[in-house]
Structure 1
Amino acid sequence: MSTFLIDRVAEQLKSMPQPLQWQVLKFVQTLISSQIQGVPGQQLLQFAGAIPTDDLQLMEEAIEEGCDRVDLNEW
């Protein structure tokens, strides 16, 4: 494994103030602890074409109509 990237990050960290160094550490820890969620797209191909074309057209029209308006009293 090449240490080039690790060395570059360490080099940049040295020039940063300590509060920012702590932020970087916390960010790295968050990345390490996060898990990939979801499924590969290949597994979703079985659903391709499952929604009838007419329904897709209705959905598209509803999105086009509703996305141009904002209801300021909604919340």
Structure 2
Amino acid sequence: MNNLLIPEVVDNINYLPYNLQKQVLNYVKQLKKTYENRMLGKSLLNFAGSISKEDLKIMTEVIEKDCGQVDLNEW
């Protein structure tokens, strides 16, 4: 991992008041959590073929039939 930005980030955070430093820390923690929990595209390949052809056909038919339909009385 390229850590060239860390010194610049730290230098800029040093100029912020404590409450803003806490905000930055919380934001970085949230970014880290999101990054660690992401699902990589490669991992989705594990699911390839897990839906039967029959179920895919049913799903396709329902999508083609019902998508784009508006029920004006729904609301």
Q: Sequence identity, in percent? A: 19
Q: 1:54 aligns with which of 58, 61, 64?
A: 61
TM-score (norm 1): 0.54
What pairs up with 1:31-46 in 2 under 5 angstroms?
Answer: 31-32=31-32, 35-36=36-37, 40-46=43-49
Aligned length: 68
- After superposition, the Cα gap between the structure-2 partners of 1:70 and 1:16, relative to the gap in structure 1 and judged at 3 Å, is farther
Q: 1:57 to 1:29 in 2, by over 3 A?
A: same
Q: List alignment gaps of at least 5 residues for structure 2.
A: none
Paired with 1:70 and 1:18, the residues of 2 have a C-alpha distance of 51
Shift of 1:42: 1.0
> What TM-score, normalized to structure 2?
0.54
Runs ≥4 residues deviating over 6 A: none
Provide the aligned C-alpha RMSD in A: 3.4
State the alpha-carbon separation in 1 of the partners of residues 6 and 73 from structure 2.
48
Code of the residue aligned with 2:37 in structure 1: it is I
CA distance, structure 1, for counterparts of residue 46 and residue 10 of structure 2: 39
